[in-house]
Structures are given as C-alpha cells and as structure tokens.
Amino acid sequence: MITLQEKYKKRPIRFLELWEKEGWTMKLYGISYKSEYPRKELISKAKELASKTLPSPAVTDNRYGVGFIGIHDGLGASFIFIDWWSDENELNHHVYVASHEHPDEYEYFTPKGLIACCWDLKVLSFERDSWVKTVLDHPSGIPNVKEYLELQLNENV
C-alpha cells in the first residue's frame, strides 16, 4: 500500500510578472511548498532556462510569442516548466527538475514523461481556459492575445 509522505496542504500559486525576452512575452507563476513565493534564485534560473528553451524567432506563421513559465519550489525538488502556444491550439511543454541536494543542476525531464504535479496542473488548466476564452473562442471572433496576457492566476490550491 502506498502511504503519503505528508497530508495534502494547499500551496500558493502567484502570478509574478510578465517577462519579455527576444520577442517573447511569458507569464511567470510561482508555486511554493513553504512560503508565499519561490526563492529568487529559482526565478532567475527559470528565466535562464527559458532563454535557452524558447525557439527563435518568437513570432512566426504558427507561433504567437506568448506562453507561461511555472516555477515550483517543491518539497523534495524544484520544478520549472516552460510552455508556449503554437498552431492555434497546441501547447508546447518542457519540464526541468533539480533535487534539493543539487539545486543548480537542472535536468531536462520532458523525455522521461513527467508532465506536472497536481499544483502545476492548476496553472496548465487555468492557462488552457484563458487561451480558449481569449483566442480560440473570443466573443468578437478575433483572437485577443493582449487579453490572454492580462488573465493571471493567484490562488491557493
């Protein structure tokens, strides 16, 4: 029988900023096991990894130059996921993980099949719903990327 390491506890998901880099505009979200926000060094590392992961150019015939980054300061490890929208309705998802024993050694985990934990999934779900509402099914019939960027998650889940 599987036993829980500890009882479920809500974690804060906080919108941190709109980060702009080389034509990209990314929503940054912080999730933390033990405080309101992830550690500053994780936020810096997420931006560094995103700079290496995001394709160039940001905007193409099938890419919008927008997405989101999750920075999760977790119990046993730190997780960074980098996501962007392309081909109208497709989400590109890349995951990096560092153990607390080796906090500067982020391993690219996407090929291992890891998608997200239950807290990270809330961000993915919110961003999916925001994309549908503002881009795919906007009441005007015209995609509104600016409105998408203005929708931001701040919740304890």
**pLDDT, tens only, 75-122:** 989 999 999 999 999 999 999 999 989 988 999 999 999 999 999 999
- CA dist list (Å): 73 to 83, 90, 128: 18, 27, 22
- CA dist list (Å): 138 to 27, 59, 127: 20, 21, 15
For the chain, give the mean pLDDT: 96
Within 10 A of 50 (CB to CB), how many other CB atoms are there? 22
Across the range 40-62, mean pLDDT stands at 97
Given a contact cutoff of 8 angstroms between Cβ atoms, the answer to whether 19 and 69 are in contact is: yes
Q: Which SS3 state, helix, strand or coil, does residue 5 take?
A: coil
- CA dist list (Å): 129 to 79, 80, 82, 126: 22, 21, 17, 5
Within 10 A of 151 (CB to CB), how many other CB atoms are there? 15
Q: What angle do CA 126, 105, 29 make, to 5 degrees?
A: 20
Q: pLDDT-derived band of residue 3, with 50, 70 and 90 as boundaries?
A: confident
Question: What's the pLDDT tens digit per position in 33-47?
Answer: 999 999 999 999 999
DSSP 87: T
